Chains A and B, each alone.
Chain A
Amino acid sequence: MHELLQQIFSGLVAGAVYASLALALVMIYRATDLVNFAQGEMAMFSTYIAWTLVNAGLPFWGAFIITLLVSFLGGMAIERVVIRPIENAPVLAAVVVTIGLLLIFNSLAGWIYTYTVKDFPSPFPDRPLFGALTTTRDLGVIGVTLVMLALLFAFFRFTKTGLAMRAAAQNPDSARLCGIRVKRLLAIGWGLAAAIGAIAGILVAPILFLDPNMMSGVLVYAFAGALLGGIASPLGAVVGGLIVGVTENLVGTYLIASQLKLTVAFALIILVLVLRPNGLFGTAIVRRV
């Protein structure tokens, strides 16, 4: 029984890790109607920026804020430089560009920071809780993910920018006719996604340890979570991420061997795409023609 609870708890923590990156994927999808394969590597790179600042002697939260700002501007710059020129190109071009970005950020981080594993400080204290079932640090990760979810949900539901962003992504022409500045919103979308990714990276680095490949494994699980919940829904991404985290632990421990954990994630992606293409919480987007 104790083991089952432990597996569920460590699954929830892993799930929160996936969910935090999945939120960034949802953000970019909502804002630009694109899937960004470089989201994980951008988050990893932001985390290195935070690591550099902390090592330079800045207090944790100071480094945190600066990293978010730098990531926001960096995300906007990426949109301006490499995404906007292919705005009207087929979707495949954007996919290839984001995969290119993935490789660039990975190699760049390796070149600048080397591949040696680095310790990253956690803002939360590290104490065992509930008879060593989990730690305060792990609960902190789950907590921050839920706060991010609430903020994102509110942003898209209640703010003018959020609503305009949804409109701009789904129907740029009509949005433009309504007076929405589509191009600026696309850039802001990239900036926000990069900032959310930075939070995700800073959040998970104390758990996974920081190295250039920190996010490459996480990205696959984050995709599985986002697709499971519905890639257009922040709530779906978080619930999906948590389900993936717990499922892979339970299935990997009790049903099949642990070497098939990644396979479970891929099987979930395929299953969802076949049975419920919009995910558990997603709704089909209907466009009026």
Chain B
Amino acid sequence: MTMKRALMAGLSAAGLILAGGLAFAAGQYGPGASDTEIKIGNTMPYSGPASSYGVVGKSEAAYFAMINDKGGINGRKIKFISRDDSYSPPKTVEAVRKLVEEDQVLLLFSTLGTPPNTAIWNYLNDNKVPQLFVASGADKWNDPKHHPWTMGWLPTYQTEGRIYGRYILKNLPNAKIAVLYQNDDFGKDYLIGLRDGLGDDKAGKMIVATQTYETTDPTVDSQIVALQASGADVLMTVAIPKFAAQAIRKVYDIGWKPTHFLCSVSNSVGATLRPAGLEKSVGIISAAYEKDPTDPQWQDTPEYKNWLAWMKTYNTAGNVADGLTVSAYSFAQTMVAVLKASGDNLTRENVMRQAASMHDLKLPMLLPGITLSTSANDFAPIKQMQLEKFDGATWKLFGAVISGR
């Protein structure tokens, strides 16, 4: 068996060399790629409950428009086909089938949301279509063994949890930790990461209480009261904005003063902290991996100015205070970097191989010191974050970049 596999590997390598020879003549193309064009497919919630994320798709289209105006990638223009799925998995399946079978795209890029991506995960892997840079923080996109055609991008929920765990272990070694988390994969991934970062035996002792909530619960007041009663002096809140805001307010109202860690999913000032009350949010700690466009410390740098110029020329509908436009900018830059590296060999296999060999790729709007790296058995590009503390008006970064590998 082993012999046979080795032989096959040798044969296919020989095939590649032969094909590589041919590529000099005309370039080697998979579906969706040609001498003049590269077709990229995408799904986004432009309508429905998650439509606030639609700005990601619009911004990516705006970035590719700029690349095309500058001559494209190795002379080829990008055709970005982005379809609405309303954040509804059955619609995602329909849209992705259309993209693969009718539009014949080379790959799927930055499809958004955990449930929609879960629905197309196996279809794309069965058909060997790259599902690159999934826009979701779930940990499962890093599974090269079983899903070699799928790759994440964002720091995962577990990565972030691990970073908090490591920080607590180092700086608050006697902490008694209470955790409020959403009772689903999103909440549980953070808890797994936190336990992992603390280490198994420490986690058992340091985490003194956990409480969950369902998204159908009217409030989390009762859970916060129970967590305070546990005697904890550190609170980790893993909740979507509405419940995070309730938690912040209740902690303040009952006079509890824990060191409060808030998951980055909900660290938007506008969506969470302002409804909760800015004065009630002072001292909360969260984590970031990219530059906050409203943070004055970046606004004199050339990286920021380039981003702003793109916003003003190509992404005029976007809001310059909206961090999602920054994420989309970095997402699209990663895609462009991988396509550039693929050169004239634009087959699905080669694009996937290039995506899996990023070495410390720097992107202008990521925080200094945070880079993208992948390998054949590591499909999680961003693994570092930096902690930040809320001062009543904005987030202030502090400490070194922490790896959550």
Asked whether A252 lies within 8 Å of B275 as measured between CB atoms, the reply is: no
- The residue among B211, B212, B214, B219 with the most chain A CB atoms within 10 A of its own CB is B219
Q: Does B29 count as interface, using CB distance less than 8 angstroms?
A: no
What separation, in Å, do the CA atoms of A110 and B47 have in the docked complex? Answer: 10
Chain A interface bracket (under 10, 10 to 19, 20 to 34, 35 or more)? 35 or more
Asked whether A17 lies within 8 Å of B214 as measured between CB atoms, the reply is: no
Residues in B neighbouring A119, C-beta threshold 8 A = 274-275
Q: Does A118 count as interface, using CB distance less than 8 angstroms?
A: yes
B155 to chain A, nearest CB (A): 23
Number of A-B residue pairs with CB-CB distance less than 8 Å in the complex they form: 95
Q: Does A132 count as interface, using CB distance less than 8 angstroms?
A: yes
What separation, in Å, do the CA atoms of A188 and B51 have in the docked complex? Answer: 37
Residues in A neighbouring B304, C-beta threshold 8 A = none
For window 211-255 of B, CB contacts with A under 8 Å fall at: 211-214, 216-219, 221-223, 225-226, 228-229, 241-242, 245-246, 250, 253-255
Binary interface encoding of chain A residues 135-171 relative to chain B, with 1 for a CB under 8 A from any of its CBs, else 0: 1000000000000000000000000000000000000
- The residue among B212, B217, B271, B272 with the most chain A CB atoms within 10 A of its own CB is B217
Residues in B neighbouring A252, C-beta threshold 8 A = 222
What separation, in Å, do the CA atoms of A253 and B223 have in the docked complex? Answer: 8
Asked whether A262 lies within 8 Å of B225 as measured between CB atoms, the reply is: no
- Which of the residues A7, A116, A132 comes within 8 Å of B253, measured between beta carbons? A132
Smallest Cβ-Cβ distance to B280: which chain A residue: A126
A129 to chain B, nearest CB (A): 10
A7-B226, A132-B254, A258-B211 known; A17 vs B52 contact (CB < 8 Å): no
Asked whether A10 lies within 8 Å of B246 as measured between CB atoms, the reply is: no
Asked whether B212 lies within 8 Å of A259 as measured between CB atoms, the reply is: yes
Asked whether A209 lies within 8 Å of B275 as measured between CB atoms, the reply is: yes
Asked whether A10 lies within 8 Å of B214 as measured between CB atoms, the reply is: no
Asked whether A116 lies within 8 Å of B211 as measured between CB atoms, the reply is: no
Smallest Cβ-Cβ distance to B268: which chain A residue: A116
Asked whether B223 lies within 8 Å of A258 as measured between CB atoms, the reply is: yes
Q: Does B296 count as interface, using CB distance less than 8 angstroms?
A: no
- Which of the residues A6, A131, A211, A262 comes within 8 Å of B214, measured between beta carbons? A262
A7-B226, A132-B255, A258-B212 known; A221 vs B218 contact (CB < 8 Å): yes
For window 196-251 of A, CB contacts with B under 8 Å fall at: 204, 207-209, 211, 216-218, 220-221, 248-249
Q: Which residues of B are interface residues toward A (Cβ below 8 A)?
A: 48-52, 183, 211-214, 216-219, 221-223, 225-226, 228-229, 241-242, 245-246, 250, 253-255, 270-272, 274-275
A–B pairs, 21, beta carbons within 8 Å: A3-B228, A6-B228, A7-B225, A10-B219, A10-B222, A10-B225, A114-B51, A116-B52, A117-B242, A117-B271, A119-B274, A208-B219, A208-B242, A209-B242, A216-B216, A217-B218, A249-B222, A258-B211, A258-B212, A258-B226, A259-B183
